[in-house]
Amino acid sequence: MDIVREASKQFGENPAFVMQEASLSFADCDRESGRLATTLASLGISRGDIVAFVAPNGPEPLLLLMALLRLGAVAAPVNHRFPATHVDGMLERLSPKLTVYDPQACPSLTVERAVTFDTLEGLKKVAGSTGFTAATEPDRPASVIHTSASSGKPKAALHSLSNHWHNALGSAANLPFRPGDRWLLSLPFYHIGGYSMLYKCLLGGGALALPTPGASLAESLTLFPVTHLSLVPTQLYRMLRTPAGADTLRGLKAILLGGSAVGRALLEESVAAGLPLYLTYGSTEMGSQVSTSPKPITSPSDDSGTLLPYREAAISPDGEILVKGPCLFMGYLRHDGLDTARDRDGWYHTGDIGSLSAEGRLTVLGRRDNMFISGGENIHPEEIERVLASMPGIEEALVVPRQDREYVARPMAWVKVSKDGGPDDSAIAKMAGELLGGLKRPTEFRRVDEWVTIPGSAKIDRNWYRKKVMSDEC
């Protein structure tokens, strides 16, 4: 199916994406992406070829994604915020047929067959509007999205058009995105949450609002009449600390909040402010959302909503969340081929620990690889973090293991306290002991002003803090 052409037929002159001073309609996107597809075909790009691009969000990458969809080529957005050597290494492993890049974001590349977006635009201007036949096979590969590397090395996840389309269908069944709606593209295309927005737009007819590069979230929300927003907890926390932040967010139709564990204090503040907050759980491998609140939450909740259509989930005997269904990716690209990453029953093992109610409500307790053993007991850092973040004066917390001769490992915590100083360490330790017990109570508390985050993400870089503890112990 040519989903760009179908969207043009259905939504016509409605805006598909808007910028501060311009916009493009669905009809414009049909025409311009068609010309770009012709240009790419003239460069030898055809079905199944991987085309990488290294650039921040913008109209040019968005049109490139549409053109690649229509050609049946495979889009591989790469994090432009990574160090140049890291970018080169990812591109070498991908071996793309062509790499398109923004020289301001990525000044130099060592890979062969690389062109700038400006060069591609120049070639497009002399190209006709024909020369390619739109790919229609729904099961064809459509994208390579790298995992966020919150633990370990990024993996290259290969998705089909059908994977992305079913993810958008299930999302729309719970939270429609229609003409007249505008969703701020606050996540990059190399993140599954950002890339999936393209399909939500083409399916429902809502417009994507492209922020000005470098603009803060608060600034972007003042420039566009945004109705929908996707955030991780750190972004929401910061937004609520800006002048009129709560008033701005309260006026939206929906705020999707996911990406990491959410502290109870932040949920309580959001509910009290009357924010239209939907909790969500997802993964790169499932094309984005797996479960989402069926309606805005009215009280703090420990779960991540209910399973969306086209998703299945189960809990393994040891508590791991398993998923499958039409959204599930094709597998990981490796040097020796495609690893489908499924067990013999077709389940993908997420690495997350959780529970699933009879009504389909999914509760995520934490990452399996974050768990450590202390005194013979399994310790889930996320559980301790939620308790710490519920204490008056503590805004966010992060817990990692620290080596211990007697217990093998004990939890230690970094905390971000409110600007008035919050409780002192002895008060935090006393409250933690009362709420968590002796074994789960962190043995040390360190304070942070700003978190170290994963490059190109608002997620706290847990590995950085783990390594920091290890280096202190050496």
pLDDT (tens digit per residue) in 202-220: 999 999 999 887 788 888 8
d(CA 20, CA 214) in angstroms, rounded, equals 13
The answer to whether 100 touches 52, Cβ cutoff 8 Å, is: yes
d(CA 283, CA 289) in angstroms, rounded, equals 7
Q: Is 91 exposed, middle or buried (0-12, 13-18, 19+ CB in 10 A)?
A: buried
For position 149, what pLDDT does the model report? 52
For position 331, what pLDDT does the model report? 97
Distance of CA 192 to the CA centre of its chain: 5
Range name among 144-158, 361-375, 407-421 with the lowest pLDDT average:
144-158
The answer to whether 270 touches 277, Cβ cutoff 8 Å, is: yes
Is the pLDDT at 424 greater than 90, yes or no?
no
Contacts of 328 (CB under 8 A, 6+ apart): 163, 285, 286, 287, 342, 348
Cβ atoms < 10 Å from Cβ of 21: 7
30 φ/ψ angles, rounded to the nearest 5 degrees: -60, -50
Which CATH number is 371-473's, of 3.40.50.720, 3.40.50.300, 3.40.1160.10, 3.30.300.30? 3.30.300.30
Cα angle, residue 469 at apex, residues 467 and 471 outer, rounded to 5° = 70
The answer to whether 90 touches 22, Cβ cutoff 8 Å, is: no
Cβ atoms < 10 Å from Cβ of 49: 18
d(CA 458, CA 448) in angstroms, rounded, equals 16
Which amino acid is it at 156?
Answer: A
Which whole number is the average pLDDT over 27-40?
94
Sign of the dihedral through C-alpha 348, 351, 357, 363: negative
Digit-coded pLDDT (tens) for 219-255? 888 888 899 999 888 788 888 888 888 999 999 999 9
d(CA 234, CA 452) in angstroms, rounded, equals 11
Q: How far apart are the first and last CA of the chain?
A: 57
C-alpha closest to that of 355 among 383, 329, 326? 383
For position 129, what pLDDT does the model report? 57
Sign of the dihedral through C-alpha 259, 260, 264, 266: negative
CATH superfamily name and code, 202-368: ANL, N-terminal domain (3.40.50.12780)
What residue ranges do the domains of the chain occupy?
202-368, 371-473
DSSP helix/strand/coil, 333? strand
pTM for this predicted structure: 0.85
Total H helices, total E strands in the chain: 14, 26
For position 151, what pLDDT does the model report? 46
**260 or 112: which leads in pLDDT:** 112
Which whole number is the average pLDDT over 362-381?
83
Tokens of 77: 């957005």
Strand partners, 145: 157
DSSP assignment of 373-416 equals: EETTEEE-HHHHHHHHHTSTTEEEEEEEEEEETTTEEEEEEEEE
174 φ/ψ angles, rounded to the nearest 5 degrees: -95, -40
